[in-house]
Amino acid sequence: MTKLTALDLNPFLRHAIGVDRLFDRLVSQIDASANANNYPPHDVIKTGENTFEVRLAVAGFLPGEVEVSVQETNLIVTGEKFDNELPEGHEYLFHGISARKFIKTFQLADGVEVTNALSKNGILTVNLERIVPETLQPKTIAITYES
């Protein structure tokens, strides 16, 4: 099986201007997904034409133990459980709720911004919106006719 990173993308780059960054991002995403773990479980949902949600299962994490940040074009969600100790006289008979340290990174397209984040019932929801600058929005040019 050939890895995508071993493919020669030069034929594509010769006929396209300004998409070299797109190919770099595509290759890095494929590499990252091959090496990524699936903790915590998450969903990515398109909620409108230019809006999205990322939902992560963060049951067991308390306020202050999960952080959402944006660095360049990456949405980064980190979680670290600070206190895993049980009260005096308690012991685990079975410990199935995982609350291990994690870092989850999502690549954001140009113009996508985080609008808010909400944690409810063990699910962290991060809302995203693609902001299309006015200069990139389609426009109609009026034609002047002379007689």
d(CA 24, CA 29): 9
The structural domain count of the chain equals 2
pLDDT tens string 12-56:
655 555 555 666 666 666 655 555 568 899 999 999 988 999 999
* Calpha distance 78→125 (Å, rounded): 13
Q: What is the pLDDT of residues 54-67, one digit of tens each?
A: 999 998 888 999 99
- Identify whether residues 124 and 137 lie together within a single domain: yes
Q: Are residues 79 and 127 in the same domain?
A: yes
pTM of this structure: 0.66
- Tracing tokens 């291990």 back to the chain, one arrives at 100
pLDDT at 14: 59
**H or E stretch covering 34:** helix 20-35
Residues 6+ away with beta carbon under 8 Å from 133:
111
Please check whether residues 46 and 28 belong to one and the same domain.
Answer: no
Range of the domain at 16: 1-36
Q: Are residues 23 and 46 in the same domain?
A: no
Same domain, 16 and 42: no
Comparing CA positions, the residue from 132, 118, 128, 106 lying closest to residue 45 is 128
58 shares a domain with 28: no
CA separation for the pair 75, 116 (Å, rounded)? 12
CATH of the domain at 54: 2.60.40.790
Q: What is the pLDDT of residues 55-109, one digit of tens each?
A: 999 988 889 999 999 998 899 999 998 876 788 999 888 887 777 899 999 999 8
pLDDT, position 27: 65
Specify whether 32 is located in the same domain as 43.
no
Specify whether 26 is located in the same domain as 47: no
